[in-house]
Chain A
Amino acid sequence: MADARSVILGRIRAALADRPGPVTVPREYDRVRDLGDVLTLFEKQVADYRAVVRRVAESALPAEIESSLTAHGVRVMVTPADVPTWWRVGQFVWSLDAPMSPLPNAALDRADGVLTGCAVAIAQTGTIVLDAGYAQGRRALTLLPDYHLCVVHADQVVATVPEALARLESTRPLTFISGPSATSDIELDRVEGVHGPRNLEVLIVG
């Protein structure tokens, strides 16, 4: 008996006996769009998901991180080992996760929060995208702790989804995050907070 692969491919070829002509894909939609000040829009859209968000000056970043963490009452923070040292502020316990010395899941689960940067942010949809690159760590890091503090730099913010995808490499592990974990499963109403971090806080630098 032929193997499943050749049977399925054979069925497809038979089904397409009419070989529908080549399809020209229209690309009339807006790849870029003038949405005014993208930072203002990004801030507004992130807030719309009931995430906490504010604009901060580069020089004030450590102080702002400290005030966020203090306001949140955290003690143990996890962070990828490559975040800038000056982000690891104050009197908190910083657990570093590195490829050669990954923290066990139990430690991530027990941590009060996680601090990362991001790869790209999308103003129109209020989305941050992590690509496991610089200052972001592996995916589990931003998943298990209940509080995610994310630093977004102004030059990482683009207007539209197409602009964001153009900046990303699809073969890296990617996570698009739009607001805190939520569900619409109860009477189709969005409720924040199921399995992912229930608290998302974004600091926009610049």
Chain B
Amino acid sequence: MGRNPVTWLGSPTFPNAARDALSDVQLRGNLAHATTTIRTKRAAAVAELPDWQRLRESGQAIKDEVLSNLDSYLERLEAAVTARGGIVHWARDAAEANEIVLRLVKEAGASEVVKVKSMATAEIGLNEALEEGGVSAIETDLAELIVQLGDDRPSHILVPAIHRNRSEIRDIFRSRMSGVEDLSDTPAELAEAARAHLRRKFLSAKVAISGANFAVADTGSVVVVESEGNGRMCLTLPETLITVMGIEKLVPTWSDLEVFLQLLPRSSTAERMNPYTSVWTGVTPGDGPRKFHLVLLDNGRTQTLADRVGRQALRCIRCSACLNVCPVYERTGGQAYGSVYPGPIGAILTPQLGAGTDDPQTAALLKSLPFASSLCGACYEVCPVRIDIPSVLVHLRGKAVEGTHTPESVAMAAASWVMQSPARFRLAQRAASVLRLISRRGKVKRLPWPGSKWTDSRDLPAPAAETFSAWWRRTRG
């Protein structure tokens, strides 16, 4: 199997990337500010619902039901969408999905498309593929626009430009938009600049590309949850709409959505409800696009489904609550995870989606990701669909070092040990202290910042022969 673009080509392993991120003071300041704000707000939004835990239990069970009969739910969805005038396509992997989308865009005679933020299309590297095919993709979500105009990479599921503060955003806009020389850094003015910049594009676009938050198997209805109205623009104005959706995004019935429309906004933006939620089914004459294509994407999901422990990662509704509470994420930022899926969910989803790669550097990154956690459990507590992220992490760690007693496996284990407490983690930023800490465990004579140079550690004498799981049990008591 080739390389799944869910990770960025050439990304270092997590510990290596994390070390660089940790030295970026501006980045850490921006992140700490943003995640602290959202954590407090989320807690308040959740406390308003006395039945929150019961909603989570339902959310978990509905998603489990979908996953355990995914084949029949997908067939049902396909039939319903088709019956309402939509066209369903199936894509085994990123390359196939990109080909389908590019072909559809060309058939519609467009050389430019507007896009509403979508994790699925980011995962498959659609923008780059379109670019290569001569089609320019315009991101219309404010944060995506900031990332795109800044030639940057996303660092958060929900707020891809969370690592940028307002004055950095102003500078990006000033250098990349016309007529905004006097732009200030007040958020309202920045938003206004984006509105003016994109309005013309919305009105002239022939094709829009979106993701989907949910799709209802029974009725073929597709749901997009958003804030700015750029989603509504994309879903309503162009003649052709192409939606790329992971095969796990289903719910069985319309009334199941009553659970997720409560769980998602409070978990993600900490609002009672996000400003806009759009629901459409196939094509409605006289209202919205005349052509609707739904691309159902596998790209590693079926192999994730095959893992009995790991498959629960497919329940994820991409709310990003786990990122916002994660002590490791807060210190390293999203880009250190080398993937569009950062944070705790990234640490369990990316390695599973990307598994089977034949690129050694990518394989090394994927193996390092499950160690990007302190196993503190905060992610599990906030997850609206109750994904037991810590258990999946431990499971994937076991798989990553299975049958190997290499310096790499020990170094990664050491990295995970250090990440277990914020105190140790802070300490770990000073390599000298870490050397001492690690050697005190009596396992490794010398090791740089845990795992950070584990490729170099190949020169070291092989550590004592102890399996990772034995080491794990012993050191964790």
Contacts and interface: CB of A to CB of B under 8 A. Distances in A.
Task: Tell me, yes or no, whether A binds B.
Answer: yes
Interface of A: 3-5, 7-9, 11-16, 18-31, 45, 48-49, 99, 102, 105-106, 109, 122, 124-127, 132, 138-140, 143, 161-162, 165-166, 170-197
A7 to B, nearest CB: 6
B236 A187 contact: no
Contact of A161 (B58, B258, B308): B258
Contacts of B219: 170-171
Nearest to B170: A186
Nearest to B188: A191
Given A102-B286, A182-B275, A4 B91 contact: yes
Interface string B341-377: 0000000000000000000000000000000000000
Given A30-B50, A174-B279, A195 B202 contact: yes
A26 B57 contact: yes
A34 to B, nearest CB: 11
A101 B100 CA distance: 35
A193 B192 contact: yes
A171 B284 CA distance: 9
B406 interface: no
B58 A27 contact: yes
B258 A28 contact: no
Given A165-B254, A173-B288, A181 B228 contact: yes
Interface stretch (B61-69, B121-129, B395-403): B61-69
Contacts of B61: 23-26
B463 interface: no
Nearest to A13: B71
Interface stretch (B175-183, B265-273, B417-425, B442-450): B265-273
Contacts of A9: 71, 74-75
24 contacts: A8-B92, A12-B305, A16-B71, A19-B68, A29-B54, A99-B286, A132-B287, A138-B287, A139-B288, A143-B229, A165-B257, A171-B221, A171-B281, A173-B280, A180-B275, A181-B229, A181-B276, A184-B227, A186-B166, A187-B37, A187-B166, A187-B187, A191-B188, A194-B230
Contacts of B192: 193
Contact of B142 (A25, A194, A196): A194
B261 interface: yes
Contacts of A166: 255, 258
Contacts of B162: 187-188
B298 interface: yes
Q: Which 4 A-B residue pairings sit nearest by Cβ, starting from the closest?
A: A196-B229, A195-B229, A11-B302, A15-B306
A204 B22 CA distance: 52
Contact of B84 (A171, A185, A186, A195): A171
Nearest to B256: A25
B298 A178 contact: no
Contacts of B276: 175-178, 181, 196
B142 A139 contact: no
Nearest to B236: A139
A105 B195 contact: no
Given A28-B57, A162-B255, A188-B34, 10 more contacts: A11-B302, A12-B71, A15-B306, A29-B58, A125-B272, A143-B237, A181-B275, A185-B146, A187-B166, A191-B188
Given A178-B271, A178-B275, A8 B37 contact: no
| Secondary structure type dominating chain A contacts | loop
A133 B202 CA distance: 25
Contacts of A175: 232, 276-279
B215 to A, nearest CB: 11
B272 A178 contact: yes
B306 A14 contact: yes
Given A30-B50, A162-B255, A175-B277, A182 B227 contact: yes
B203 A105 contact: yes
B68 A22 contact: yes
Nearest to B165: A187
Interface string B146-169: 100000000000110110011001
B291 to A, nearest CB: 15
Interface string B66-94: 01101100110000000010000111100
Name which of B142, B235, B276, B303 has the most chain A CB atoms within 10 A of its CB. Answer: B276
Contacts of A187: 30, 33-34, 37, 162, 165-166, 187
B386 to A, nearest CB: 12
B269 A190 contact: yes
B203 A106 contact: yes
B97 to A, nearest CB: 10
Nearest to A142: B232
Contacts of B194: 194-195
B54 A28 contact: yes
Contacts of A124: 272
